[in-house]
Amino acid sequence: MLETERLLLRPLRVDDVGAYVSLHAHEEVSRFLGSYSRSEALDRLTAVERQWAARGHGRCAIELRSTGDFIGVSGLRYWESFDEVEIAWTLRPDRWGHGYATEAAGAWLDWGFRELPDRYFTAMIRPANTRSIRVAERLGFRPLRQDTLFDRPTTVYSLSRPGDRDGGMR
Ligand SMILES: CC(C)(COP(=O)(O)OP(=O)(O)OC[C@H]1O[C@@H](n2cnc3c(N)ncnc32)[C@H](O)[C@@H]1OP(=O)(O)O)[C@@H](O)C(=O)NCCC(=O)NCCS
């Protein structure tokens, strides 16, 4: 569990399924991340719980400290196919424009570079996802490579450990 000035970040659980389905039902979110039936969402949340158990980190619900509202998801996702850890961010559209995604991801970067051995973290972003690119760039991520994710072109951004001069290459 992480706390920032305005946010509480706590592990995403299978019983968040209602909020998770509703988050991905917004067209502005599903456009880039897809939408899920309840049973698909349960599968994904089960995988999130598995990653938490296996690696001691994972994706979190973002709650507003002032109200307790569930406003989105952020945290760490391990990609076995790339052997890389991604910092993820998604917000309900009615919570865009307040800096919450940047605040949550910044807290994960601080935590990740403190607690994990990784020399860099990634953010995988579709070229048309300009809001997400702005979040990545504000945090200091830079394009590392072009890749394909779920059959769609994706830019893999990376942010290196402070002081690491290899620019995100391992
Ligand atoms: C990607 C996504 C999380 C970005 O949301 P966002 O609200 O633009 O990002 P933040 O919460 O960091 O807010 C930043 C914006 O708030 C503004 N802002 C207002 N108050 C602020 C504050 N106190 N601190 C920082 N920024 C603030 C910033 O100027 C910025 O606006 P700008 O980009 O127009 O300059 C959101 O668009 C989303 O959920 N998209 C769908 C899911 C998705 O694509 N996820 C990413 C997959 S790669």
The answer to whether residue 98 scores a pLDDT higher than 80 is: yes
Nearest CA to ligand 1 atom 43: 90
- Average pLDDT on 147-152 reads 90
Coil vs helix vs strand at 144: strand
Q: Which residues contact 20 (CB under 8 A, 6 or more apart)?
A: 12, 36, 41, 44, 45, 73
Write the CB contacts of 16 (distance below 8 Å, at least 6 apart in sequence). Answer: 45, 61, 70
**Tens of pLDDT along 20-79?**
999 999 999 999 999 999 999 999 999 999 999 999 999 999 999 999 999 999 999 999
**pLDDT confidence tier of residue 102, bands split at 50, 70 and 90:** very high
> Ligand 1 centroid to 137 CA: how many Å?
11
pLDDT above 70: residue 165: no
Task: Please determine, for residue 91, whether its predicted confidence score (pLDDT) is greater than 60.
Answer: yes
Q: Copy the structure tokens of residue 154.
A: 């994706």
DSSP bridge partners of 33? none
Q: Does 166 have pLDDT greater than 60? A: no
Q: Comparing C-alpha atoms, which of 61, 156, 169, 78 is closest to residue 116?
A: 78
Measured between alpha carbons, how far is 120 from 116 in angstroms, rounded to an integer?
Answer: 10
Tokens (6 digits) for 112: 């990740």
Over pLDDT 70: what percentage of the chain?
96
Q: Which atom of ligand 1 is nearest to the CA of 134?
A: 33
Model confidence band, residue 121 (pLDDT cutoffs 50, 70, 90):
very high
Domains along the chain? 2-160 (3.40.630.30)
Continuous H helices in the chain: 17-25, 27-33, 38-55, 100-115, 130-139
- Pocket lining: 89 vs ligand 1, CB cutoff 6 Å: yes
Q: Is 91 in the pocket of ligand 1 (CB under 6 A)?
A: yes
User: pLDDT category, 164, cuts 50, 70, 90?
Assistant: confident
Does 170 have pLDDT greater than 50? no
Query: CA neighbours within 13 Å on the CB side: how many for 77?
Result: 20
Query: What does each C-alpha distance from 30 to 24, 37, 57, 158, 159 come to in angstroms?
Result: 5, 12, 25, 24, 26
149 Cβ below 6 A of ligand 1: no
